[in-house]
């Protein structure tokens, strides 16, 4: 008898129970156990119907992703699903939590399906670069019709139990205390009414009606616009179309072919890596999982600007009261008005109710006085990037706040240790770097100072999860992980324009690669003055910072979207970047002043220089232990800067390109354009000489 799947008869119902924490994934042991339990049920003459349920937090959440890439062990999931569907005893699946991927496919292989309120179902395989590979693309359209099946399978979105009932996936949504109890009721009805096994594969009506429909090309056209670079979504459409064109058995064969094409795609590799890396990042090497954490039941944010306001929203969204402090009432009013506008626009989209808007606004308490911070558990400073101002603020916080408070700075580049030195409690000081817009972007870069205690580190990692962020713990250096690599890419992109490329050419290379925005469109969004002020601060501090044509934009007041002109021009009310001949002239002028003869630059050179300089910097960051693992850097870039997740992040992608190839190019760029950015990372050279990859460091 398998420990993970058991069979037990209750009256005339043979109950098959999966118990394989944390999410009852369909590992080899579960698949084998399912077949054993089915055989027992079929041999049990007293059992007139079978009931499939799961213990723990959820019904089956899918195939066991940890088995991907390893040799598949029989029984395969399709064969298990087919065995359940072929059973001559009716089988009921009772769903709670999330029935996803192979889990929903298994439930559709059963003959009746019931769920409890709050349950969700979905086929999220496309988010892993796959498609439902155990009959899902053939059975779902037989239940819902092609359009609903395409919507679910090409987006991977979950739907509620009520929506699934409406769509024809479920037979009932019942409010018994447990899914098991609901399942027992349904199985009892099946027996009492002598209902036969109702096999989804025999349901031909809806797929016949959809044969030859335009819906497939309609979805392909939408995907061409929305995600032209992705491989799997288009295969999903092909698989669902096969369900309408072919008999079931042939459709399943076609699904298998398409599934294997996706399984072999580098995009599946990247997406599965991104899935696990996001979860692994929350386990910080050297920080034991049982490290004590402090409770955070109240917060205080300093600065009611775009960042401070967005940060405050994150806490209000999860019911944590938060003081918002400014120096002047006018700035406070402006900040609160922006927060309200953001909430009201979310409410207009139907994502929250107007009552929730008021509840959240009530949790954000404006103040002009530090005294209100005397009892908060966490303070996050979010004022502009000036070290003197930040130190003054932390000195004040040190005087006002209670013992045990966590004092955090949202600084994006400045030295956490220097900020901590303005207090008597450096062990309680940490960086919490949010990404703009702070109430939207998922990444929270937690920065440990040299004295930040383990308790404080563990607490801010827990806060990240609680406010719905992806937390990554990084070390303290200029720009930490994300911005340090971004600044290298920005400098290279700017140099490429100096040398002859246009800003729009550089941006198109990056968006064609899969970034949501190019380097210069991003500068316009963030504000040209942000980079300008940082370069001026570094020049003031005596650093050698090369002249930069973007300085001229700032000096001419072309600050980006906020002034409707930056690197690009912006029509009134539009955020669409439009190339501007005035900027071309400004760049020409800059080249002449600096004796630069422009040359035409290939897209390959642009991509290599923008991305390899990031990889090289990432390797240096790893070498300095500023990031603990390559996967931490991948997670920072996917969730903080929109690095295409199907490429797995910069370090995972570098492994796929080949470190030897990249190192050779880095050495070539060092020899042609010089600059410390092209000094090859010693770690990269070591990995290449040892024929290892960044993933060996995870
Ligand atoms: N396989 C293995 N482990 C999984 C898993 C899975 N499918 N899903 C989750 N885990 C682990 C996860 O790594 C974490 O482990 C723990 O469970 C809790 O997850 C043939 C081929 C279910 C909504 O894509 O969306 O079926 O870090 O932190 O936020 O057609 O997990 O604790 O060690 O995410 O509450 C399709 C993926 C697979 C679902 C729960 N299924 N999972 O979210 O917890 S492909 C999916 C999720 C497939 C078939 C195809 C979420 C969740 P650890 P968590 P959560």
Among 25, 65, 157, residue to substitute to test ligand 1 (most atoms within 8 Å of Cβ):
65
| Reported confidence tier of residue 677, pLDDT bands at 50, 70, 90 | very high
pLDDT for res 66: 87
Among 61, 67, 160, residue to substitute to test ligand 1 (most atoms within 8 Å of Cβ):
61
| Shortest-distance Cα residue to atom 42 of ligand 1 | 61
- Could you give the CA distance from residue 321 to residue 377 in angstroms, rounded to a whole number? 11
Candidates 3, 55, 74, 125; catalytic one:
125
Q: What is the mean pLDDT of residues 152-160?
A: 97
| Shortest-distance Cα residue to atom 38 of ligand 1 | 62
Instruction: Enter the tokens of residue 102.
Output: 């192979």
| Shortest-distance Cα residue to atom 47 of ligand 1 | 61
DSSP state of 70: S
Distance of CA 61 from the midpoint of ligand 1 (Å):
6
3-state class (DSSP) for residue 61: coil
Instruction: Enter the tokens of residue 196.
Output: 């036969």
Select from 12, 6, 10 the least CA-distant residue to 40: 6
Distance of CA 68 from the midpoint of ligand 1 (Å):
13
**What atom in ligand 1 is closest to the CA of residue 64?**
1
- Could you give the CA distance from residue 615 to residue 410 in angstroms, rounded to a whole number? 25
Q: Residues 617-636: pLDDT tens digits?
A: 999 999 999 999 999 999 99
Please give the model's pTM, rounded to 2 decimal places: 0.91
Does residue 174 have a pLDDT over 70? Answer: yes
**What atom in ligand 1 is closest to the CA of residue 136?**
30
Window from 204-213, 627-636, 672-681 with minimum mean pLDDT: 672-681
| Reported confidence tier of residue 421, pLDDT bands at 50, 70, 90 | very high
Among 18, 54, 62, residue to substitute to test ligand 1 (most atoms within 8 Å of Cβ):
62
pLDDT for res 284: 95
Distance of CA 630 from the midpoint of ligand 1 (Å):
22
| Shortest-distance Cα residue to atom 32 of ligand 1 | 22
Distance of CA 276 from the midpoint of ligand 1 (Å):
9
Q: What is the mean pLDDT of residues 130-148?
A: 98
Q: What is the mean pLDDT of residues 223-244?
A: 96
Distance of CA 148 from the midpoint of ligand 1 (Å):
23
Does residue 1 have a pLDDT over 80? Answer: no
Distance of CA 376 from the midpoint of ligand 1 (Å):
35
Q: Residues 344-370: pLDDT tens digits?
A: 999 999 889 999 999 999 999 999 999
**Cα 617 from chain centroid (whole Å):** 23
Does residue 188 have a pLDDT over 70? Answer: yes
| Shortest-distance Cα residue to atom 28 of ligand 1 | 279
Window from 208-212, 395-399, 504-508, 541-545 with minimum mean pLDDT: 541-545
Among 4, 18, 22, 82, residue to substitute to test ligand 1 (most atoms within 8 Å of Cβ):
22
3-state class (DSSP) for residue 695: helix
Q: What is the mean pLDDT of residues 158-177?
A: 97
Among 23, 56, 269, 281, residue to substitute to test ligand 1 (most atoms within 8 Å of Cβ):
23
Does residue 190 have a pLDDT over 80? Answer: yes
**What atom in ligand 1 is closest to the CA of residue 103?**
26
Does residue 69 have a pLDDT over 80? Answer: no
Determine what percent of the chain falls in helix, strand and coil, rounding each to the nearest 5.
Answer: 55, 10, 35
Q: Across the chain, what does the average pLDDT equal?
A: 95
Distance of CA 229 from the midpoint of ligand 1 (Å):
25
Distance of CA 321 from the midpoint of ligand 1 (Å):
32
**What atom in ligand 1 is closest to the CA of residue 132?**
30
Distance of CA 272 from the midpoint of ligand 1 (Å):
10
Cβ 467 vs Cβ 315: under 8 Å: yes
Distance of CA 286 from the midpoint of ligand 1 (Å):
25
| Shortest-distance Cα residue to atom 10 of ligand 1 | 23
**What atom in ligand 1 is closest to the CA of residue 280?**
27
From residue 96, alpha-carbon distances to 81, 108, 295 in Å are 19, 15, 31
| Reported confidence tier of residue 535, pLDDT bands at 50, 70, 90 | confident
**What atom in ligand 1 is closest to the CA of residue 276?**
13
Distance of CA 322 from the midpoint of ligand 1 (Å):
33
**What atom in ligand 1 is closest to the CA of residue 100?**
41
Q: What is the mean pLDDT of residues 226-230?
A: 91
Window from 158-167, 213-222, 321-330, 432-441 with minimum mean pLDDT: 432-441
3-state class (DSSP) for residue 331: helix
Window from 94-98, 351-355, 625-629, 681-685 with minimum mean pLDDT: 351-355
Cβ 389 vs Cβ 383: under 8 Å: yes
Beta bridge partners of 560: 565
Q: What is the mean pLDDT of residues 118-145?
A: 97
| Shortest-distance Cα residue to atom 22 of ligand 1 | 61
Q: What is the mean pLDDT of residues 394-404?
A: 97
| Shortest-distance Cα residue to atom 23 of ligand 1 | 98
Residues with CB under 6 A from ligand 1: 22-23, 25, 61-66, 77, 98, 100-102, 105, 124-125, 128, 130, 132-134, 136, 279
Tell me whether residue 105 is one of the annotated catalytic residues: yes
| Reported confidence tier of residue 562, pLDDT bands at 50, 70, 90 | confident
| Reported confidence tier of residue 396, pLDDT bands at 50, 70, 90 | very high
Positive or negative, the CA dihedral 144, 145, 147, 150 is positive
Cβ 219 vs Cβ 91: under 8 Å: no
CA max distance for the chain: 92
Instruction: Calculate what percentage of the chain has a pLDDT beyond 90.
Output: 90
**What atom in ligand 1 is closest to the CA of residue 22?**
17
| Shortest-distance Cα residue to atom 1 of ligand 1 | 64
| Shortest-distance Cα residue to atom 20 of ligand 1 | 133
- Could you give the CA distance from residue 240 to residue 446 in angstroms, rounded to a whole number? 43
> What are the phi and psi torsion angles at 323 (to 5°)?
-80, 140
Candidates 85, 105, 381, 608; catalytic one:
105
Does residue 517 have a pLDDT over 80? Answer: yes
Cβ 459 vs Cβ 471: under 8 Å: no
**What atom in ligand 1 is closest to the CA of residue 62?**
26
């Amino acid at each position: 008898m398998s420990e993970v799947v058991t069979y037990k008869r209750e009256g005339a119902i043979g109950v098959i129970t999966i118990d394989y924490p944390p999410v009852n994934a369909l590992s080899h042991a579960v698949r084998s156990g399912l077949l054993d339990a089915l055989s027992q049920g079929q041999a049990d003459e007293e059992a007139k119907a079978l009931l499939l349920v799961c213990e723990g937090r959820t019904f089956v959440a899918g195939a066991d992703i940890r088995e991907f890439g390893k040799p598949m062990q029989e029984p395969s999931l399709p064969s298990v699903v087919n065995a359940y569907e072929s059973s001559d005893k009716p089988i009921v699946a009772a769903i709670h939590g999330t029935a996803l991927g192979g889990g929903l496919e298994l439930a559709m292989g059963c003959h009746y399906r019931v769920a409890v309120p709050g349950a969700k179902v979905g086929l999220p395989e496309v988010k892993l670069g796959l498609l439902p590979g155990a009959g899902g693309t053939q059975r779902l359209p037989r239940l819902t019709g092609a359009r609903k099946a395409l919507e679910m399978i090409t987006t991977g979105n979950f739907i509620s139990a009520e929506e699934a009932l409406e769509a024809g996936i479920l037979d009932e949504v019942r409010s018994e205390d447990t899914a098991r109890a609901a399942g027992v009721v349904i199985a009892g009805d099946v027996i009492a009414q002598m209902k036969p096994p109702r096999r989804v594969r025999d349901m031909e009506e809806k797929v016949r009606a959809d044969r030859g429909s335009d819906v497939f090309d309609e979805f392909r056209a939408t995907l061409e616009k929305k995600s032209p670079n992705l491989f799997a979504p288009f295969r999903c459409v092909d698989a669902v179309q096969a369900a309408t064109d072919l008999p079931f058995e042939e459709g399943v064969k076609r699904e298998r072919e398409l599934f294997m094409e996706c399984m072999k795609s580098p995009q599946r590799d990247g997406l599965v890596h991104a899935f696990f890396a996001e979860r692994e990042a929350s386990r910080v090497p050297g920080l034991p999982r049982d490290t004590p954490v402090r409770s955070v039941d109240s917060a205080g944010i300093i600065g009611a600007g775009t960042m401070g306001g967005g940060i405050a929203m994150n806490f209000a969204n999860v019911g944590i009261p938060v003081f918002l402090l400014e120096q002047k009432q006018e700035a406070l009013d402006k900040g609160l008005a922006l927060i309200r506008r953001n909430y009201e626009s979310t409410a207009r989209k139907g994502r929250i109710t107007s009552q929730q808007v008021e509840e959240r606004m009530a949790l954000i308490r404006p103040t002009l006085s530090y005294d209100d911070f005397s009892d908060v558990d966490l303070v996050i400073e979010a004022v502009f990037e000036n070290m003197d101002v930040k130190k003054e603020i932390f000195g004040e916080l040190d005087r006002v706040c209670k013992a045990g408070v966590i004092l955090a700075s949202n600084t994006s580049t400045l030295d956490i240790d220097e900020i901590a030195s303005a207090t008597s409690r450096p062990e309680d000081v940490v960086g919490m770097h949010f990404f703009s817009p702070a109430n939207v972007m998922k990444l929270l870069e937690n920065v440990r100072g040299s004295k930040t205690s383990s308790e404080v580190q563990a607490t801010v990692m827990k806060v990240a999860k609680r406010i719905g962020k992806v937390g990554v713990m990084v070390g303290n250096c200029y720009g930490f992980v994300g911005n340090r690599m971004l600044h290298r890419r920005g400098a290279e992109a700017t140099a490429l324009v100096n040398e002859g490329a246009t800003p729009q050419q550089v941006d198109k290379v990056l968006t064609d690669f899969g970034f949501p925005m190019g380097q210069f469109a991003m500068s316009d969004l963030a504000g040209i003055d942000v980079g300008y002020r940082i370069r001026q601060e570094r020049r003031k501090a005596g650093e050698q910072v090369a002249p930069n044509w973007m300085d001229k934009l700032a000096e001419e007041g072309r600050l980006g979207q906020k002034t409707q002109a930056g690197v690009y021009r912006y029509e009134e009310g539009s955020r669409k970047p439009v190339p501007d001949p005035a900027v071309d002239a400004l760049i020409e002028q800059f080249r002449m002043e600096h004796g630069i003869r422009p040359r035409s630059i290939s897209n390959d050179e642009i991509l290599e220089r923008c991305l390899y300089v990031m990889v090289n910097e990432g390797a240096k960051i790893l070498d300095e232990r500023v990031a603990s693992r390559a996967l931490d850097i991948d997670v920072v870039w996917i969730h903080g800067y929109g690095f295409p997740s199907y490429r797995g992040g910069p370090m995972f992608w570098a492994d796929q390109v080949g470190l030897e190839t990249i190192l050779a190019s880095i050495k070539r760029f060092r020899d042609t354009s010089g600059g410390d950015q092209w000094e090859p990372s010693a770690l990269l050279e070591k990995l290449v000489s040892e024929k290892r990859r960044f993933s060996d460091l995870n």
